[in-house]
Every structure is written in C-alpha cells, then in structure tokens.
C-alpha cells in the first residue's frame, strides 16, 4: 500500500484520542507497536520526513491498524501486552525478556532471606519485584549479615537456646559467620527463638521501608572501623550500606509488596467513556464501564467482590516475568501520577462507598 494511501486512511479514520497502533509488513507481520494519547496526530507524524529507525520502519511498512481506547492507562497496558505477545522487531521496550527477582522470607524454624525468581503459593512472604541483577543478591546477603539472620542451607538443623534439649558443652556454630558473630547461630543454640524473631522483624521492617535500623548499625560499625584506622574494613562497610540503601529505594512501590497492591481505580475516559480498573496484586485483572445506575452498580459490586475474593488459604498463584512486568508498570504509573494513586481505593473501601451511595440496592452484595 502506498504511503499516500496509508496517510489518507489515517486522516479519514483515526481519532485524536488515546489508543494503540501497529505498523504491519506486507506479509502481515507486526513491525512495531506503539501508544499515544493523541492517536491520529501520532500516526500522521510518521509521514513527516522520517529519519533513522522511523525511516527504516516506514520503508518496510505496508499497513497500519489501531485500537481506540478510553484512556492512557488502558493504552499503556495494551501496548505492553501486544509487544510481549508479538515481539515486533522495531520495538525495544517491553520486548526484552527481563529477569525479575523477589526477596523471600522463608517459612522455616529459623527463616532465611533469599532471592528467588517467582512468587509461589508456599506461605512465605515476598518483597518485589525488582530487576534481578548481581547487586540484589549481594544486598540481601548484606541485610542478613546486618541483622544476624542465617544464610545456610535449608537442611541445617536448628537448635534454639530455649528449646528443651541437652546440648554438648561448648557446641560450636556450624559456619564462620556464627564463629565471628555475624549470625545469631540458631544452629548452635546461641540465641533464643524470640531473639531470632526479633531480628527477623527488623529485617522485614527494613524491607517494608518502616525502619532504617540495619543502616544505623552499619553506620556505627563504619565509624568504629574508621576510628581504629581499619580502612579496608570501613570501605567494605560503606559498600554494604550503599547496597542496602539501593535495595530499600527499589522497594519503594507500595512498600515493595505486590500482594498489597489491590485497588479499584476509576478513570475518566475520552468523551465520557469512564472505566473502573481492578488491579489485583499489581496486575490489571479486568475493567468495566463505570456504573451509572443502581443495576450497574450491583453488577460492578459483584464483579469487584469476585475479583478480590481471597485465594484458597489466602494464597496466590505463582508470579512469573509477565506478572512482574505488569506489576512494575502499574507501580511506575502511580509513582509518576500520584494524584491518580489517591483516586485508587481498596476494594472494601470502594464497596463501602457504593453501599453508602446506593443504599438498599447493594444491601445483598
């Protein structure tokens, strides 16, 4: 199809409203997926003396298709999902298979901090997602050292000091960390279960950005090392502090816990096409037209109640790379638009507001 015919098609059919578009090759391949809040203007810009990558794209493009959407938020998620599904050759963002990691607090007699690639239904506590790079594992190890938590294998037997057990006199720790005092050494009965749980709580408070106590402890150790003129040790402590500060900064989105990001998000749409979006654990689960009548509200309330119904035993399905990508996308959206975050409410708050507004119409929901 000639470029003049394509341009006339865009002028005649596209609207200046939010949407997602696809440039197509002659054989039907999707070459590029994009989004815009002013779709018609964006598409027409491709015909204005393109250069570089755009010029190469337009030489190969033989067609264009688009979907009008009610708002920018919908376009953001549609674009990402289409790129991940088709992996167009001219796209870069969202196409690369990113590796994500989560900080996992295990459910064990003496819980550990681990870096894992997925959230699974094992009752453990997960923080993230974060880009899974080398610094993340180092930072988690630093946090374990700063709080005295163990980092040994899962099959190492634990023997707290308050257990009703007879220990051999002077039973030594099973690792160097226990010997030098950077681990509480529950393997050797050198701490009570209460002591260990207290340090675990400190680690979780740090991961949830409620406390900076591990950083304060490292700062004291750094000052002491500098005073003793132990400069190499001080440099290692500075590196640990930098990694922990980076970890806490990267866990800023909703305290870093995807499981807490359960929101009903009302969004005004183009020419009154208002929608409500249901975001469960950071993922865009579903959406519907914003209810305008009592019957609409009854239907919407049933959908909200169903979407956010707890999974069996309050456990969720596994979260892989695609789910992590959507969670990060939602977190970034609300971070860039704090006024939008203030309009998004918890499902219970939304249901309570609808009951207050519509009274008996929702009494059975």
pLDDT on residue 126: 83
Q: pTM of the full predicted structure?
A: 0.66
Give 260's DSSP letter: G
CA distance 309 to 282: 15
pLDDT on residue 161: 82
End-to-end CA, the chain: 54
Neighbours of 76 (CB within 10 A): 19
| Angle in degrees, CA 355, 361, 365, rounded to 5 | 65
User: Closest by alpha carbon to 282, among 127, 123, 135, 107?
Assistant: 127
Q: What are phi and psi of 51, to 5 degrees?
A: -140, 170
How many Cα neighbours within 13 Å face the side chain of 35?
19
CA 104 to chain centre: 14
- Asked if 126 and 189 touch (Cβ cutoff 8 Å), the reply is no
- Asked if 90 and 31 touch (Cβ cutoff 8 Å), the reply is yes
298: left (phi over 0), alpha (psi -120 to 50) or beta: alpha
User: Closest by alpha carbon to 151, among 92, 213, 211, 200?
Assistant: 200
Write down the residue that tokens 């956010």 correspond to.
308
CA distance 289 to 158: 55
User: Closest by alpha carbon to 31, among 75, 66, 2, 62?
Assistant: 62
- Asked if 300 and 274 touch (Cβ cutoff 8 Å), the reply is no
CA distance 112 to 117: 16
In this predicted model, what pLDDT tens digit does every residue of 207-255 receive, in sequence order? 988 899 999 999 999 999 999 999 999 999 999 999 999 998 887 644 4
Neighbours of 325 (CB within 10 A): 21
In order of start, what are the domains of the chain with their CATH numbers?
Answer: 3-86 (3.40.1440.10), 100-255 (no CATH), 261-362 (no CATH)
In sequence order, what are the residues at sequence separation of 6 or more whose Cβ sits closer than 8 angstroms to the Cβ of residue 277?
73, 74, 263, 264, 265, 266, 267, 284, 286, 287
In sequence order, what are the residues at sequence separation of 6 or more whose Cβ sits closer than 8 angstroms to the Cβ of residue 125?
104, 105, 204
CA distance 160 to 321: 38
pLDDT on residue 315: 44
pLDDT < 70 stretches in the chain: 94-98, 121, 132, 163-171, 252-260, 311-321, 359-365
pLDDT on residue 360: 60
CA 58 to chain centre: 35
How many Cα neighbours within 13 Å face the side chain of 169?
0
| Angle in degrees, CA 86, 87, 88, rounded to 5 | 95
pLDDT on residue 361: 58
CA distance 2 to 311: 53
pLDDT on residue 275: 97
Q: What is the mean pLDDT of the chain?
A: 86
In this predicted model, what pLDDT tens digit does every residue of 86-136 receive, in sequence order? 999 999 876 566 677 889 999 999 999 999 887 776 778 888 778 767 789
């Amino acid at each position: 199809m000639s470029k003049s015919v394509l341009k006339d098609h865009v002028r005649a059919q596209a609207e200046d409203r939010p949407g997602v578009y696809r440039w197509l090759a002659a054989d039907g391949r999707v070459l590029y997926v994009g989004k815009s809040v002013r779709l018609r203007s964006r598409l027409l810009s491709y015909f204005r003396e393109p250069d570089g990558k755009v010029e190469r794209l337009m030489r190969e493009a033989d067609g264009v298709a688009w979907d009008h959407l009610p708002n920018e938020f919908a376009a953001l998620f549609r674009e990402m999902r289409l790129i991940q599904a088709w992996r167009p050759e001219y796209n870069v963002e969202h196409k690369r298979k990113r590796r994500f990691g989560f900080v996992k607090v295990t459910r064990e007699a003496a819980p550990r901090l681990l870096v894992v690639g997925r959230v699974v239904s094992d009752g453990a506590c997960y923080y993230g997602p974060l880009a899974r790079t080398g610094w993340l594992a180092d930072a988690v190890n630093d946090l374990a050292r700063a709080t005295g938590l163990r980092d040994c294998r899962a099959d190492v037997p634990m023997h707290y000091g308050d257990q009703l057990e007879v220990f051999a006199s002077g039973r030594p720790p099973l690792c160097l960390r226990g010997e030098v005092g950077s681990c509480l050494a529950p393997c050797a009965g050198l701490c009570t279960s209460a002591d260990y749980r207290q340090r675990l709580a400190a680690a979780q408070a740090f991961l949830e950005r409620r406390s900076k106590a591990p950083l304060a402890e490292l700062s004291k150790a750094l000052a002491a090392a500098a005073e003793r003129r132990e400069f190499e040790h001080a440099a290692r402590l500075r590196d640990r502090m930098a990694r922990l500060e980076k970890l806490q900064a990267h866990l800023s989105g909703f305290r870093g816990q995807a499981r807490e990001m359960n929101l009903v998000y009302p969004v005004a749409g183009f020419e009154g096409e208002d929608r409500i979006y249901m975001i469960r654990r950071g993922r865009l689960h579903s959406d519907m037209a914003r209810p305008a009548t009592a019957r609409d509200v009854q239907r919407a309330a049933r959908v909200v109640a169903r979407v956010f119904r707890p999974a069996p035993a309050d456990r969720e399905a596994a979260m892989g790379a695609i789910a992590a990508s959507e969670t990060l996308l939602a977190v970034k959206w609300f971070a860039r638009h704090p006024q939008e975050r203030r309009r998004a409410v918890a499902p219970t708050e939304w249901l309570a507001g609808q009951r207050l507004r519509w009274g008996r119409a929702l009494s059975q929901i």
